[in-house]
Amino acid sequence: MKIVRLLMLLVGLACGKELYAESCKVALVQAHLKWGDVSANLDAFDARINQCADCDMIILPELFTVGCEMKGTGNKPVAFQSKDEVASLFPKVLKQMQVWASRSGALVVGSTIYKEDEKYYNRLLAVFPDGNYQHYDKHNCFKKGAYSPGNAQLILTWKGHRIATYICYDLRFADWSRNEGQYDTALYIANWPESRRNDWLALLKERAIENKACIIGVNCSGTDPFGKRYAGDSMLVAPDGEVRAQGTPYADEVLKVVLE
């Protein structure tokens, strides 16, 4: 069997692509976020990373450091770190993700706020165990002006798997996710509210079927300080649209799945 796999790899390399991918165990970290508090979230995720010691890839929700941008309503004060404050902590977040990747030996993926040239970006970081990283800036931004859109896609390779990375609202834009043979798996990290839960469940399956690829969705769960609920519904969907694994709704948990 090892000889067959080696021959497949050599043939793939000769053709300019890798035909053999290793089995890859992926941790989908469906978490209750500490809204607006970077330090508290980093501490909480540090403990969750310890549950992923046997995994090759660890996926965190969108803006795992702070949750979606929050504003006070009515007479409730704003007690959250500003976008500027969160963006200023970008080096700290990156360093912590590098520690997690090195400690676990896994590729660690999650997003936080990044600022450059007076523009804010919802930046996904894919951090490898050796400390190197790649990034993707969310292209389809839900709130006009809250974040600037990125223009470049990111398709990375890990354990022989070609993985496209997207963030939340990107899920609604089929053309942006269009697969023309570039990837095997598409990953969507999100802060997707319960009020649009049916869309999340349907669109993950649609993206899988139309792109003939596995889809991983990782969403936060729980309730934010203003009462908005997040069901989680983190899952792995097969290319035929079948849900292979799904997290417990509303739970704070680590769901482990395998990419073959």
Per-residue confidence (pLDDT) for residue 11, from 0 to 100: 37
Catalytic residue among 24, 34, 68, 138: 138
Determine the Cα–Cα distance for residues 260 and 254; give it in Å rounded to an integer: 19
Per-residue confidence (pLDDT) for residue 144, from 0 to 100: 65
Q: Which domain holds residue 29?
A: 22-259
Task: Please indicate, yes or no, if residue 200 is contained in any of the structural domains.
Answer: yes
Task: Please indicate, yes or no, if residue 53 is contained in any of the structural domains.
Answer: yes
115 alpha-carbon distance from chain centroid: 19
- Low pLDDT (below 50) residues in the chain: 1-18, 72-77
Per-residue confidence (pLDDT) for residue 138, from 0 to 100: 97
Domain count, the chain: 1
Per-residue confidence (pLDDT) for residue 146, from 0 to 100: 83
Catalytic residue among 24, 52, 55, 168: 168
Task: Please indicate, yes or no, if residue 13 is contained in any of the structural domains.
Answer: no
CATH number of the domain that 133 lies in? Answer: 3.60.110.10
Catalytic: 138?
A: yes
Task: Please indicate, yes or no, if residue 15 is contained in any of the structural domains.
Answer: no
pTM for the complete prediction?
0.90
Per-residue confidence (pLDDT) for residue 191, from 0 to 100: 97
Per-residue confidence (pLDDT) for residue 21, from 0 to 100: 80
Phi, psi of 158 (to 5 degrees): -145, 125
Task: Please indicate, yes or no, if residue 175 is contained in any of the structural domains.
Answer: yes
Catalytic residue among 34, 62, 220, 253: 62
Catalytic: 62?
A: yes
What's the 3-state SS for 187-220? EEEECCCHHHHHHHHHHHHHHHHHHCCEEEEEEC
Task: Please indicate, yes or no, if residue 188 is contained in any of the structural domains.
Answer: yes
